[in-house]
Chains A and B, each alone.
Chain A
Amino acid sequence: KQEVTQIPAALSVPEGENLVLNCSFTDSAIYNLQWFRQDPGKGLTSLLLIQSSQREQTSGRLNASLDKSSGRSTLYIAASQPGDSATYLCEEDPGNTPLVFGKGTRLSVIA
């Protein structure tokens, strides 16, 4: 059964720092990988989607990379702000079975 692991479970950084969130998955034959943000008590908001043929995607201060051979993805956040505080979830689409989500990394950016 496919699994997605996110490390660390929680992270606290001072405002302005660059940071990296990690996601590892067991199935290298993925369709795509998606990063989401979730604020407390709210639904998930899609941040970036990387197709299996792509190595990275960028949106503003966010950059997500995908390395299928090692089963890893990273979400890089540049110049972090207090408004970035949220839980970040990684999700893998295996293609022929339902999506698999990690448990998330809870990020706190301290002003």
Chain B
Amino acid sequence: DGGITQSPKYLFRKEGQNVTLSCEQNLNHDAMYWYRQDPGQGLRLIYYSQIVNDFQKGDIAEGYSVSREKKESFPLTVTSAQKNPTAFYLCASTLGQGAIYEQYFGPGTRLTVT
């Protein structure tokens, strides 16, 4: 079955520690995205990548970093510089850019930093 996997489902970290969230897709999609979702808010774009070895900042990139060394993988690192990291993180992908392409989402990772 094709899809997007995110691991782990729940993640707990102490303040000041960096943490990396995994996102893997076997859909052969070119574009991948990371969003953050907070209660009562819409999804906010952190980073996106349209092709391997290339990525762009979204609306709230400060305190986050990404890499795109393989087409299937787009890990997100939440650094200690992120002031309020506790949130639900969603990874998504699309086959390409254009009107016909749906966005597919992973199941999400809930990060709690104390």
A residues within 8 Å of B by Cβ?
A: 4, 31-32, 34, 36, 41-46, 49, 51-53, 89, 91, 93, 95, 98-99, 101-104
Contacts and interface: CB of A to CB of B under 8 A. Distances in A.
A31 B98 contact: yes
Nearest to A46: B102
A99 B99 contact: no
Contacts of A103: 40-42
Contacts of A4: 42
A32 B100 contact: yes
B107 interface: yes
Interface string B34-70: 0100001111010010000000001100000000000
B42 A34 contact: no
A34 B105 contact: no
A27 B76 CA distance: 30
Contacts, number: 58
Interface of B: 4, 6, 33, 35, 40-43, 45, 48, 58-59, 88, 90, 92, 97-100, 102-108, 110
Nearest to B57: A98
Contacts of B33: 98-99
A43 B102 contact: no
A34 B103 contact: yes
A51 B43 CA distance: 21
A56 to B, nearest CB: 15
17 contacts: A4-B42, A32-B100, A34-B102, A43-B108, A45-B105, A46-B102, A49-B100, A49-B102, A52-B99, A89-B42, A91-B43, A91-B103, A93-B99, A95-B97, A95-B99, A98-B59, A101-B42
A93 B94 CA distance: 12
B106 to A, nearest CB: 5
A103 B106 CA distance: 19
B43 A89 contact: yes
